[in-house]
Amino acid sequence: MAPSVPHTRAAAALRTKQIALDNQDRTIRRLRAQLATERRGLPATKKELKETQVALEASHKVIAGLTEIGLSMTKKIEKMKVKKQLVKANHVECHQKFQARIHEAENSMQAQHLLIEALVDEKDSLLQTIHGPQEANNAPAPFDGDWEEEPEEEPEEEEIEDIPLGEGEIDDE
């Protein structure tokens, strides 16, 4: 006898439902296995996450410390730049003072030289004045006229360079 059509359809429908249930069961078992694997790896992942968080916090502390050091160094550098500018200004001022002293000493030496020349000229003039009347009277000259002039000394630059430094002044050497 031939199977009845409704019976075959019902069996096919049942077979399709059974296949679907079997597939869902396999999917559920696979997902449960993945979940178990994930759960077994969760403590390790949590531990890695905690270690990463600790390392990140330490890194933030290091960055904050380095930033603070950088700011401190920047302030120190700025102070050093200001101090360097002050030292440079002081150096320029001292150099100008030394140049003024040197110029003043040179002027003083020139004035002294001119004064010495004037005194020598006056002495020569006085000697001429004295010799004139003595020659007219045939008297011996009190001076023999062969007196030695002291050689003119050029100012030594060493004396100018050896000006003692006062407090707060900078030596160029």
Q: How many angstroms separate the CA atoms of 165 and 94, rounded?
A: 10
Q: How many angstroms separate the CA atoms of 59 and 53, rounded?
A: 10
Q: What's the mean per-residue pLDDT of the chain?
A: 84
Residue 142 makes CB contacts below 8 A (sequence gap 6+) with 130, 134
Q: State residue 73's pLDDT score.
A: 96
99, pLDDT greater than 60: yes
Structure tokens at 147: 């007196």
**Boundaries of every domain in the chain:** 7-161
Q: State residue 1's pLDDT score.
A: 46
Residues 120-165 have pLDDT tens digits of 999 999 988 888 777 777 766 555 555 556 666 665 555 555 555 5
Residues 29-43 have pLDDT tens digits of 999 999 999 899 899
Amino acid at 130: I
Structure tokens at 75: 């302030």
Q: How many angstroms separate the CA atoms of 84 and 70, rounded?
A: 20
Distances (CA, A) of 22 to 9, 15, 16, 25, 51: 20, 10, 10, 5, 43
Stretch 83-108: mean pLDDT? 96
Look at the block and give the residue holding tokens 């000259």.
141
